[in-house]
Amino acid sequence: MSKHFFIAGPCAIESEKITLQTAEKLARITEKYKIELIFKSSFDKANRTRLSSFRGVGLDEGLRILQKVKELFGFSLTTDIHLPEQAKPVSDVVDIIQIPAFLCRQTDLLVAAAKTSKTVNIKKGQFMAPWDMQYAAEKVILSGNDDVWITERGVSFGYNNLVVDFRSLRIMKPFAKKIVYDVTHSMQIPSRGGKSGGTKEFAGWLAFAAAAVGVDGLFFEVHPNPQEALSDASVMLSLDEFEKVIEPILAHWDITDSYENNP
């Protein structure tokens, strides 16, 4: 694992075609900029605002498509689980199991993920103080797995709004092996009028700030045609938009690494 890395992919697995199209372009970007990238997409989005919202292709089909991404492009993989019984089949395909923010305190889910011996990436709940994430991490560690990451994705600020306290990225560092900043979901305007919106025009600026604070990894949801995406359309970046922010992010990381090595 590189000192710094990216996590990227479509929010939900919509089809094999879109998933592979995205992975192919990300593979070219990875090679061009010599970066480490973990491919992410969800087989099920179980927390959509409306019952009628698109959720994904399901566990079996989703894992089949993710396995194909790994075979064709060599990416490490991550996806999220919502039920303890999903941990084992998911661990047979992916390298990092993601725990959704709304479920970050669900003990049975955390323990099941821990027992797979895979990396467990816990997304910090919108309702959680950063110092309280140590207890979520401890549930995994005390279950026999110390390979824990924590991802910041913003905190609720009144109704239907999120803000990011960048101090949290430093506060949580002692609790986990890696700290990730989820650029995409911190830009959400959650569930306003029955549908989540967002402010993706701030993506680059927030990513630069997180890199400057010393975060280990950055999470972007990307899509070939974000405006047509079936989930998180308002906050996903196009592949070209994602590529545009990479070099400035790498520059911020270089400056931060120099500062940390010479306090």
Q: What is the pLDDT of residues 221-259, one digit of tens each?
A: 999 999 999 988 889 999 999 999 999 999 999 999 999
Contact 154, 185 (CB under 8 A): yes
Burial class from Cβ neighbours inside 10 Å (0-12, 13-18, 19+) for residue 245 reads buried
pLDDT at 52: 87
What are the residue ranges spanned by the domains of the chain?
5-261
Topology adopted by domain 5-261: TIM Barrel (3.20.20)
Residue 198 in 3-state DSSP?
strand
- CA-nearest of 41, 34, 155, 161 to 96 is 41
pLDDT at 146: 98
Specify the pairing of strand 162-163 against strand 155-156: antiparallel
| CB burial readout 150-168, b (16+ within 10 A) else e | bbbbbbeeeeeebebebeb
pLDDT at 193: 58
For the chain, residues with pLDDT lower than 70 are 191-196, 263
pLDDT at 250: 97
- CA-nearest of 49, 70, 45 to 58 is 45
- How is residue 70 annotated by DSSP? H
Contact 194, 49 (CB under 8 A): yes
pLDDT at 198: 73
- The span from the first CA to the last CA of the chain, in angstroms, equals 24
- CA-nearest of 40, 146, 18 to 90 is 40
